[in-house]
Chains A and B, each alone.
Chain A
Amino acid sequence: QSALTQPPSVSGSPGQSVTISCTGTSSDVGSYNRVSWYQQPPGTAPKLMIYEVNNRPSGVPDRFSASKSGNTASLTISGLQAEDEADYYCSSFTTSSTWVFGGGTKLTVL
């Protein structure tokens, strides 16, 4: 199972919005609504930010939103804050009953 494709890096200024894409195939992102997004600051474990395409766990700010179209999922962070600077990973369930991750995107808040 190949990794999902994410841009290596994105950046934005405080207050701006950024979008991170996650491209898979019809065997993963395109087949299920089991796409999730994780935030990982340096030296810490990943944290679930979005599950089942566009649902936020309790405690995640509504500045974080996500969607999916076909084989591509997207995470949008609006009203960027310095604390949002981290690595972001997408993940999808697959038709093989396995999970696959994206390669990760480093978000820099300028």
Chain B
Amino acid sequence: QVQLQQSGPGLVKPSQTLSLTCAISGDSVSDNSGAWNWIRQSPSRGLEWLGRTYYRSKWSYDYAVSVKSRISINPDTSKNQFSLQLNSVTPEDTAVYYCAGGRAAAGFVHWGPGTLVTVSS
């Protein structure tokens, strides 16, 4: 049974960096058919895919155009987890952030519980 466990602060100041981690159990971040994603949800934006990382002989990354200049998703094979960093946040980045992943072609098979991140001073 695959489980995703999220960790990270729920409050970030404007202009600072939002950092979250997603620990995977029951699957591997390095699985050759998998992909590991970050998704956020807010009343104004609905569900918004932010980006993903996946391993196919080498690590690859895809990011949404809306955040491409500010986002980084990184795998950590030693801890079987992956992380999200979103720089220069504004109140518009306030949302529930989810990690999700599994077999890449299937979309988002497994989901973390979500982390409400509020951007406020």
Compute how far the CA of A47 lies from the CA of B112 in the bound complex, rounded to whole angstroms: 10
Supposing A99-B49, A101-B48, A104-B46 touch, asked if A48 and B106 sit within 8 A by C-beta, the answer is yes
Q: How far is the CB of A59 from chain B (nearest CB, A)?
A: 12
Supposing A3-B46, A45-B114, A104-B47 touch, asked if A97 and B108 sit within 8 A by C-beta, the answer is no
Q: Does A100 contact B (CB under 8 A)?
A: yes
**B62 / chain A contacts, CB cutoff of 8 Å:** 97-98
* 0 or 1 for each of B32-64: is its CB under 8 Å from A? (1 = yes): 000001000000001111001000000000111
Q: How far is the CB of B71 from chain A (nearest CB, A)?
A: 12
**B48 / chain A contacts, CB cutoff of 8 Å:** 101
**B98 / chain A contacts, CB cutoff of 8 Å:** 45-46
Q: Does B111 contact A (CB under 8 A)?
A: yes
The reply to whether B112 and A101 form a contact with Cβ atoms under 8 Å apart is: no
Q: Does B107 contact A (CB under 8 A)?
A: yes
Supposing A1-B65, A97-B62 touch, asked if A91 and B107 sit within 8 A by C-beta, the answer is yes
Residue from the set B47, B63, B109, B114 with the largest chain A CB neighbour count within 10 Å: B47
Q: Which residues from chain A sit less than 8 Å from chain B, CB to CB?
A: 1, 3, 34, 36, 38, 45-48, 51-52, 55, 57, 89, 91, 93, 96-101, 103-104
Q: Which residues from chain B sit less than 8 Å from chain A, CB to CB?
A: 37, 46-49, 52, 62-65, 98, 100, 105-109, 111-114
Q: Apart from A1-B65, A38-B47, A38-B108, what 10 extra A-B contacts exist at CB < 8 Å?
A: A46-B108, A46-B111, A52-B105, A52-B106, A57-B109, A89-B47, A93-B107, A96-B65, A98-B64, A99-B37
